[in-house]
Every structure is written in structure tokens, then in C-alpha cells.
Structure 1
């Protein structure tokens, strides 16, 4: 399966997955089954391999910019 994301979508999704993983102790509170937890980990790893932004000193700023570009007008 191929899923196509814009760079902004990938960055915002990666940030959410990373933050959620940190808050929920390895997605354990989100997942009904360990397979769901594994799928979320795998998705996070795939995004991490493709993105250079998480390793940038301006990471937070880049996430904010990506979020701003993705928001609906007026949100």
C-alpha cells in the first residue's frame, strides 16, 4: 500500500505520533490490541526515516509553520 502525504502532513503527523507516544507510554493507552501499537510505532519509524526536520534545531518552528499551512482558513 502506498500512502502519499505532503511534507507538512508528514511533519504534523509525526509530531502528533511522537507526542502521543510519549504521553501514553508507548501508545499503550490508545491501542486496543498490541498490533495497533505496533502499527503506530512502525508508522512513526517510517516518517522518522523520511523527515530531516525532527533533527533540526528549528524543529518546533517548522512544526508550527506546517500546522499553520494545513489549518483551514479561519481556524
Structure 2
């Protein structure tokens, strides 16, 4: 089967924060199985994680934690208009209307997917 590749674009901050989260879930907490029950999904998760690890020099910086926290703050400000709030998966997202738009791909460049480029 000849599958067409899909390109996903992330900002450096998005990639850095996602890389850290994936590392925490996959290697620190060993909770990937608890979060992702279908092992077929693990293949793209490992592909994304590996690509981020090879691409990001930020993960090797001596000031990793402060750099990560600054990236998180910038992303929160972008999502929530400067408010320092985050939304847990089970929380009501009516406070953050952009979150719904992002899930549907209708606002900004928050990780646009470009099929077939």
C-alpha cells in the first residue's frame, strides 16, 4: 500500500511543549497504555516523538525547565488571550472559546495539518 505522507506544522514552542509532554507520558510516567488504549495509535505517537527529539535542540539546553515554562506561558497567552489558565480535558471549555476553534482548525496557526504537501 502506497500511503501519502501528511505534514503537520508546529511552532517551536508547540513542538517543545509537546515533546516534553510526550516524554513525560511515554518514559517518565510509563502511562501511555493508560492514556492510549489502542496500540495502533502508538505508532504515530512514537513517530511524532522521535521526530521532535531529532529536531529540537531545546531539549538539550542546560536551562531546559525555565525555557519550557516560558514556552508554556507563551502558548497559554496565545490560547487564552494572556490569562494564565489551562483547561483540563474534563473541564468545561466555555471560558476558552478559541480551544473549540483550534480543535476544529478554524483559528490561527496552532498546528495546522497540511495533507499531501
**What's the secondary structure of 1:28's corresponding residue?**
helix
1:27–1:40 Cα contact (<8 Å) kept? no
Query: Which runs of at least 4 in structure 1 moved beyond 2 Å after TM superposition?
Result: none
Where does 1:19-58 land on structure 2 (aligned, <5 Å)? 19-21=24-26, 22-23=28-29, 25=30, 27-58=32-63
Would you say 1:6 and 2:6 are equivalent positions?
Answer: no
TM value normalised by structure 2: 0.58
Report which of the two has the higher share of helix. Answer: 1
- Aligned residue pairs: how many? 74
TM value normalised by structure 1: 0.87
Provide the C-alpha distance between the structure 2 equivalents of 1:61 and 1:55, rounded to a whole number of angstroms. Answer: 13
Which residues of structure 1 form unaligned runs of 5+?
none
RMSD: 1.3
Which residues of structure 2 form unaligned runs of 5+?
1-5, 85-117
Report which of the two has the higher share of strand. Answer: 2
Structure number with larger C-alpha Rg: 2
